[in-house]
């Protein structure tokens, strides 16, 4: 009996039409265990990001089922999938995707607000998170005033606002230097170890293997290899 | 909502352009609205200044300025109708005015009985306590250049009759480029060559115990050869004539609508550009769990902030501009409510302008967040 906490079963996704059609995933069945850090690796165009989009309820498969916290989410409307993202899932992006006009603390506070608009003390909680990530002296800096490593830490703080159980990261260290990248790896690892979060990281970066529990390698839209580390 | 505010103030140049667009539209709308309001007011100003309840005019008279003679006995017949407590007469005709230095000028000569109403600019009413002669002629201060009087009293000619200009008044300036001169009915009828058997407008007051419409009905039966209108009806008819039938009001109204449309396009363009510049942020918001309603609210809030700030700037600019314009267009008039009322269309304009932007923000795919 597979652990259906987070995953896909028989998932196929195609983009484009007729001759231009690209099959990004071909009947992939893959589940990610609760409280583990899993890597999704593979060459460009292998379907890694498509798989992450399915897990993040940003995309629906043409065929197959997507499970989030053990519940199939295929049949949900766009609004219902938005609620699933709001309550359960959080993202970290390669390009950080911080709101350029907001300060670091406002970015994180917005993360809290998006999860629960009625929550009070958002600014205090945002400050605590940023202090925890060593950004206590950068609270009021705008993203363009921060280094790439600092921006990614702000982005992770925003992702953790509201304490979502699932964290999906797309190439989170691709834009960072070695030291900053390692720092991000450690932070995400601590989310698994300290908070029991489920983390899925799409990456080309071999440094991640040191921090992961499991690796899945995709090739041409299919799972080529699974490995527990 | 902080994001909405921060997004627009972050790009100050774009925000300034948006605010400028809105304020320009508001300026134009209020200015044109003031022209229209002033035009409407001027079109019935003398009718409104009378204290009468009913005006009797020749058949088919469209506006005060175009009265034609009626029989003088109409006044006596009207006075005999039950409910009529008082009658008075007003006449108006274009006349040739010769300035003190001998130049000629067409003027609109208005004469009225002293009981026509306290606000009506008649020497016998206005000047009784100030030593004016009963046949004095008055002119509006804004027409000084046209009347060419340097000192008062001034001896002039009206339709080749000697006349004495004795006082300036305010608020009755040239409406059609032709200055008004005001004098007593007796004097005016002499200048116009009216005999006692003629009248132009007969004004009636209705006894308190009678209904104006009942008296109007009785008068219509008694005097089928003339028009019997309440003061409001005649004022409305006069305004309607000048604004709609002459096309002048339509032109002003069109300019006001154009102001709205220009503002709409400018604001729409800048808000849309602002939204498209931040489209990736809207995708991120949606990926992070923002509802469609929240995304729409952010775009709309940005539009409304631009609308509110632009309205304030526009109003701050238009008030002194209208003050200055009064020296050139004496009849321009800004009712206080116009300033408040114009905020609503400007906000509506911004909301309307944000529709395309809201649509773009709502349809953006959250899945694009993974594109580097």
* Chain B residue at shortest CA distance from A95: B372
By the CB < 8 Å criterion, does A83 face chain B?
yes
Alpha-carbon distance A48 to nearest alpha carbon in chain B (angstroms): 11
* Tens digit of each residue's pLDDT (9 = 90 or more) over A150-195: 999 999 999 999 889 999 999 998 888 888 889 889 998 998 999 8
- A-chain residues near B298 (CB < 8 A): none
Alpha-carbon distance B3 to nearest alpha carbon in chain A (angstroms): 7
By the CB < 8 Å criterion, does A91 face chain B?
yes
- B-chain residues near A86 (CB < 8 A): 288-290
CB contact under 8 A, B284 and A99: yes
Alpha-carbon distance A120 to nearest alpha carbon in chain B (angstroms): 15
* pLDDT surpassing 70 at residue B127: no
Q: Decide: A34 and A192 in contact? Cβ < 8 Å.
A: no
pTM, rounded to two decimals = 0.73
Alpha-carbon distance A166 to nearest alpha carbon in chain B (angstroms): 12
CB contact under 8 A, B289 and A115: yes
Of B10, B287, B288, the CB nearest to A101: B10
Of B3, B6, B291, the CB nearest to A82: B291
Q: Which of residues 290-329 of B touch A (CB under 8 A)?
A: 290-292, 294
Query: What is the reported pLDDT for A3?
Result: 62
* Tens digit of each residue's pLDDT (9 = 90 or more) over B255-301: 878 877 887 787 777 778 877 888 888 889 998 889 889 889 988 88
Q: List the single range of B38-47, B245-254, B311-320 with lowest mean pLDDT.
A: B245-254
B217 vs A2 pLDDT, higher one: B217
At A185, is the secondary structure helix, strand, or coil? Answer: helix
For residue A163, what are its two tokens?
């304490």
pLDDT above 90 covers a percentage of chain A that reads 67
A38 - beta bridge partners? A200, A214
Instruction: Output helix, strand, coil percentages for chain B, rounded to the nearest 5.
Output: 55, 20, 25
pLDDT classification of A212: cutoffs 50, 70, 90: very high
CB contact under 8 A, A99 and B281: yes
CB contact under 8 A, B370 and A53: yes
DSSP state, residue B7: H
Q: Decide: A181 and A205 in contact? Cβ < 8 Å.
A: yes
* Tens digit of each residue's pLDDT (9 = 90 or more) over B332-370: 889 888 888 877 877 887 788 788 888 888 888 777 787
Q: Read off the pLDDT of each residue in B182-200 and give the average, rounded to a whole number.
A: 88
At B54, is the secondary structure helix, strand, or coil? Answer: strand
CB contact under 8 A, B2 and A102: yes
Q: Residue B225: exposed, middle, or buried by beta-carbon count in 10 A (0-12, 13-18, 19+)?
A: exposed
Of A79, A97, A101, the CB nearest to B369: A97
Of B6, B291, B365, the CB nearest to A101: B6
DSSP state, residue B143: G
* pLDDT surpassing 50 at residue B129: no
Within 8 A by CB and 6+ apart from A34, the residues are: A3, A5, A6, A165, A196, A198
Alpha-carbon distance A63 to nearest alpha carbon in chain B (angstroms): 18
CB contact under 8 A, A94 and B372: yes
Alpha-carbon distance A27 to nearest alpha carbon in chain B (angstroms): 20
- A-chain residues near B9 (CB < 8 A): 101
Give the integer Cα–Cα distance in Å for A103 and A112.
Answer: 14
Q: Read off the pLDDT of each residue in B33-38 and give the average, rounded to a whole number.
A: 88
* Chain A residue at shortest CA distance from B366: A58
Query: What is the reported pLDDT for B372?
Result: 56
CB contact under 8 A, A114 and B285: yes
By the CB < 8 Å criterion, does B287 face chain A?
yes
Query: What is the reported pLDDT for B124?
Result: 63
CB contact under 8 A, A115 and B291: no
CB contact under 8 A, A174 and B3: no
Alpha-carbon distance B291 to nearest alpha carbon in chain A (angstroms): 7
* pLDDT surpassing 60 at residue A1: no
Of A91, A101, A170, the CB nearest to B288: A91
A39 - beta bridge partners? A201, A215
CB contact under 8 A, B289 and A97: no
Q: Which of residues 116-155 of A touch B (CB under 8 A)?
A: none
Q: List the single range of A104-113, A118-127, B141-150 with lowest mean pLDDT.
A: B141-150
pLDDT classification of B174: cutoffs 50, 70, 90: confident
- A-chain residues near B6 (CB < 8 A): 99, 101-102, 106
CB contact under 8 A, A58 and B369: yes
Of A82, A111, A170, the CB nearest to B370: A170
For residue B28, what are its two tokens?
């134009």
* Tens digit of each residue's pLDDT (9 = 90 or more) over A84-97: 999 999 999 988 89
Domains of chain A: 33-57+75-228 (3.40.50.300)
Strand order in the sheet with A37-41: A89-92, A166-170, A198-202, A37-41, A214-219, A222-228
pLDDT classification of A2: cutoffs 50, 70, 90: low
The ipTM estimated for the assembled molecules is 0.88
Of A52, A94, A114, the CB nearest to B289: A114
Phi, psi of B317 (to 5 degrees): -80, -35
- B-chain residues near A100 (CB < 8 A): 10, 281
CB contact under 8 A, B288 and A95: no
Q: Decide: A47 and A24 in contact? Cβ < 8 Å.
A: yes
Dihedral over alpha carbons A129, A180, A142, A91 (to 10 degrees): -60
CB contact under 8 A, A82 and B290: yes
* Chain B residue at shortest CA distance from A110: B3
Within 8 A by CB and 6+ apart from A208, the residues are: A39, A173, A185, A201
At B355, is the secondary structure helix, strand, or coil? Answer: helix
* Chain B residue at shortest CA distance from A107: B3
Query: What is the reported pLDDT for B324?
Result: 92
Beta strands in A73-228 (DSSP E): 89-92, 166-170, 198-202, 214-219, 222-228
Query: What is the reported pLDDT for B257?
Result: 81
B133 vs A109 pLDDT, higher one: A109
Burial string for B81-103 (b: 16+ CB within 10 Å, else e) reads bebbeebbbbbbbebebbbeeee
Give the integer Cα–Cα distance in Å for A91 and A155.
Answer: 9
According to DSSP, the β-strands at B70-71 and B198-199 are antiparallel
Alpha-carbon distance A93 to nearest alpha carbon in chain B (angstroms): 7
- A-chain residues near B7 (CB < 8 A): 99, 101
């Amino acid at each position: 009996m597979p652990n259906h906490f987070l995953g896909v079963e028989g998932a196929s996704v195609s983009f484009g039409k007729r001759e231009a059609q690209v099959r990004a995933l071909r009947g992939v069945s893959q589940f990610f265990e609760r409280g583990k850090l899993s890597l999704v690796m593979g060459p460009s165009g292998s379907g890694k990001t498509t798989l992450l989009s399915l897990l993040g309820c940003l995309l629906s498969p043409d065929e197959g089922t997507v499970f989030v916290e053990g519940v199939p989410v295929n049949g949900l409307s766009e609004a219902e999938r938005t609620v699933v993202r709001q309550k359960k899932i959080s993202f970290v992006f390669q390009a950080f995707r911080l709101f350029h006009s907001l300060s670091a603390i406002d970015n994180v506070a917005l993360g809290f607000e998006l999860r629960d608009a009625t929550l009070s003390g958002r600014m205090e909680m945002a400050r605590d998170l940023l202090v925890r990530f060593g950004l206590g002296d950068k609270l009021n800096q705008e993203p363009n005033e921060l280094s790439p490593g600092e921006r990614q830490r702000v982005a992770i703080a925003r992702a953790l606002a509201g304490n979502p159980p699932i964290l999906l990261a797309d190439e989170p260290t691709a834009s960072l230097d070695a030291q900053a990248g390692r720092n991000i790896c450690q932070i995400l690892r601590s989310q698994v170890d300290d908070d029991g979060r489920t983390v899925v990281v799409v990456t080309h970066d071999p440094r991640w293997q040191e921090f992961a529990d499991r690796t899945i390698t995709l090739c041409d839209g299919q799972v080529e290899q699974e490995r527990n580390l | 909502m902080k994001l909405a505010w921060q997004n627009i103030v972050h790009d100050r140049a774009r925000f300034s352009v948006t605010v400028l667009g809105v304020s320009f539209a508001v300026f134009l709308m209020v200015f044109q609205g003031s022209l229209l309001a002033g035009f409407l007011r001027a079109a019935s100003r003398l009718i409104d200044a009378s204290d009468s309840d009913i005006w009797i005019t020749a058949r088919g008279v469209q506006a005060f300025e175009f009265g034609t003679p009626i029989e003088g006995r109409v006044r006596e017949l009207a006075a005999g109708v039950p409910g009529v407590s008082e009658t008075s007469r007003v006449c108006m005709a274009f006349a040739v005015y010769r300035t003190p230095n001998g130049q000629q000028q067409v003027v609109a000569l208005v004469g009225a009985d002293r009981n026509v109403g306290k606000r009506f600019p008649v020497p016998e009413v206005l000047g009784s306590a100030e030593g004016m002669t009963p046949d004095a002629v008055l002119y509006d201060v804004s027409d000084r250049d046209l009347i060419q009087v340097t000192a008062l009293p001034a001896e002039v000619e009206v339709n080749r009759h000697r006349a004495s200009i004795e006082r300036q008044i305010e608020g009755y300036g040239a409406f059609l480029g032709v200055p008004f001169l005001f004098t007593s009915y007796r004097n005016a009828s002499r200048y116009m060559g009216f005999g006692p058997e003629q009248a132009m407008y007969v004004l009636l007051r209705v006894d308190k115990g009678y209904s104006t419409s009942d008296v109007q009905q009785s008068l219509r039966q008694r005097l089928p050869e003339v028009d019997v209108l309440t003061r409001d009806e005649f004022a409305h008819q006069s305004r309607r004539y000048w604004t709609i039938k002459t096309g002048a009001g339509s032109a002003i109204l069109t300019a006001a609508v154009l102001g709205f449309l220009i503002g709409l396009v400018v604001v729409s363009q800048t808000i849309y550009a602002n939204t498209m510049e931040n489209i990736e942020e809207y995708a991120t918001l949606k990926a992070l769990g923002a509802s469609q309603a929240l995304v729409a609210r952010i775009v709309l809030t940005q539009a409304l902030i631009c609308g509110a700030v632009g309205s304030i700037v526009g109003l701050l600019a238009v008030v002194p501009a209208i003050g200055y314009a009064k020296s050139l267009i004496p009849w321009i008039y800004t009712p206080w409510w116009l300033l408040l009322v114009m905020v609503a269309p400007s906000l509506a304009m911004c909301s309307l302008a944000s529709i395309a932007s809201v649509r773009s923000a709502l349809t953006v795919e959250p899945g694009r967040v993974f594109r580097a």
